[in-house]
Every structure is written in C-alpha cells, then in structure tokens.
Amino acid sequence: MNFDPERIRTPHKHPELVIAPSFREGDFFSHGVDCPFVFHHEGRLGMTMIGWDGIGYQTGLSWFDGEAWSSPELVFGRDAGSEHRRYNAALTSILRDDELSGSGELLPIDGWFYGTYHAYPAPGYEAGPGIVGIARSRNLRSWEEYGTPLIAGEGAAWERGGLYKSWLMRDGERFLLFYNAKDDRPRGWQEQTGAAESADLLAWRRIPESPLLRNGAEGAIDDRFASDPCVLRDGDTWVMFYFGLSSDGRARETYATSDDLVTWRRSEEVLIDVGGPGSIDSAYAHKPAVITHDGRLEHYYCAVAALPDPVEIGEFRQRERRGIAVARA
C-alpha cells in the first residue's frame, strides 16, 4: 500500500485543553501537564502524562469516559531511594500496538507492561543531563525499574547534553527505543532523534547510524529540534510523528517516513501549527501522541500559551499555561 499523507492529517483542533494544570500547590501537575501517551486497555481509552510541580516531573494516569478525561492520578512518582528518580519520573511510553489504524492496545509480556521514562539528576526544570530508563508494571499503577538505563555520557556527541522523551516498540524479535537528545552546548543547543535496540529489554545498544532523524537546514521547521518521536506503521510505511522547533522560536508537529526504521525521510509538512493570539497553543504545539479511537485518528499534543497574568503557586510565579490538547481527523 502506498503511503497517503491524508491518512495522518488531523485538521480539527479541539479549542480547549483536555487536561489542564491545576495551579494548586501540592498537586503533582500544579504547574503544567506535558508529554501525553495514549492507548487502549480493557475497552477504555487511557493516557499517561507528566506533571510539573516546581520540583520535577512525575507521571499521571487518566481515562476517557466518552465525554471528558478524568483528573490525573499519580502512578509513577519520585523515589528518594532511586539513583535516577530522586527528583523526576517522567513515563512517556508503554509497549502498545503500533498500527496507525489498529487498536492501540497495550501489549503485556508475561503479565508485565513495559514502559520507558526519562529523569534528571537534580531538582528544577529539566536540571542536568537526562537519562532514559525502563520500568514495568502489572497494573499500570505500581511500577518498578528494570534493566540498564541509557546514559547521556555514554553516547555520541549529539546526545551528551541529555536524553529526553522516548518511544518503546517491538520489531519482530527485537525491541526498539527511539528518543531525542541534545548536544552539550549550554545555550542554543540542538535536539535530534536516535534509537537503541535490545533483545530482552535489559541491555541496550545504540544503533550506530544515530541520530536517525537529523535537523533540517536553516529555516526548516526543525532546524533546531527534531524531537519527541511517536512511531506507528501505516501498511508498509513507518511514520514518525515528531515536533520541530525552528529558529522562529515556535514548535510545531510534523512527521517523517521510513521503510526500515533506520533511514527517515523528513516531510517538512506542518501537521499541527501553533494557534493565533489567545488560543491554547499560541506558543507551542508539540510532543505527539497518536491513536485511532472509534474509527477516527486523534493526535494529542502538548499545547502552551503565555498567561496574560502570572499565577502564584506558593513562591513560584507561573507565566504559561501548559496542558494536553487534541486534534482529530
């Protein structure tokens, strides 16, 4: 089957956030909600997302009842006894059906659901070089770390600054872990996307050709960032939904295609653009999570807009509204 870009377009934006920050001190999603991951499980549409509370990231779980999403429940939090999760625990994918028009159902292995997370070594907003680790759960609410994480310092120069959002999938007898990362420039860094592979989810080997998805030329939609992969199959074609950050300072959703999961063709098409003044996504429309639900393609993303007046949360002045939005076919 030839790839038809029309099959992945979702031009109908819902005008309001489907999950918003609470702006209540003490909530794990008080300051912002980010990085959606959508799936089906036991007949329901579910979503994990990460919340920012002024200290670090933690992960919540929400369910769709046909009209609205439930208030996020904290399921993967900070762990003072963990080397990597003392301040952050950002679960961003769980092994699921990867067909674009398929079920999106979670795929347990021997009764375990396996997911990937990223974490940073210090308190604060993404403070220090992030790592990507594996976690597993039997019930989606209680998670344990598993295997060996990917460490930024063990990678090539393009990822030495830290690792970000990851996508876990199965390809035959191997598992693939796509992730974006940044170089180690303190300012003006670039982010690109690479991958690692594993036979057992315990030990990982970076694919030598990384980064697999590179930045575009100056002026392209992704000349600074090519980030946050969501990889699904449409017939014989793999589609990587991702966001590009361009030199104009705006983040927009776009995609690339591949026949072999290694060589990627950038489209430079804007799938979801930033909105106009006063919209929920006037600053950024980024970080994709795509699923077919009730026969209709849905593209969830993180929407960001500046607040006209800062919100006081404890001693913190929140200047933006960051939450989860959706666009549909």
pLDDT for 69-87, tens place per residue?
999 999 999 999 999 999 9
Q: What is the pLDDT of residue 1?
A: 58
| pLDDT at position 99 over 80 | yes
Spatial separation of the C-alpha atoms in residues 137 and 145, rounded to whole Å = 9
Average pLDDT over residues 276-283: 97
| pLDDT at position 231 over 80 | yes
pLDDT-based confidence at 36, cuts 50/70/90?
Answer: very high
Q: What is the pLDDT of residue 210?
A: 84
pLDDT-based confidence at 200, cuts 50/70/90?
Answer: very high
Q: What is the pLDDT of residue 199?
A: 97
Q: What is the pLDDT of residue 261?
A: 97
Average pLDDT over residues 89-112: 98
pLDDT for 10-26, tens place per residue?
999 999 999 999 999 99
Residue ranges of the domains in the chain?
5-328
Q: What is the pLDDT of residue 209?
A: 86
pLDDT for 260-276, tens place per residue?
999 999 999 999 999 99
Q: What's domain 5-328's superfamily in CATH? A: Glycosyl hydrolase domain; family 43 (2.115.10.20)
Instruction: Report the DSSP pairing between strands 73-76 and 57-64.
Output: antiparallel
pTM of the model: 0.98
Spatial separation of the C-alpha atoms in residues 232 and 97, rounded to whole Å = 9
Distances (CA, A) of 72 to 75, 140, 163, 216, 275: 9, 13, 25, 36, 26
Spatial separation of the C-alpha atoms in residues 194 and 180, rounded to whole Å = 6
| pLDDT at position 244 over 70 | yes
Q: What is the pLDDT of residue 288?
A: 98
Q: What is the pLDDT of residue 151?
A: 97
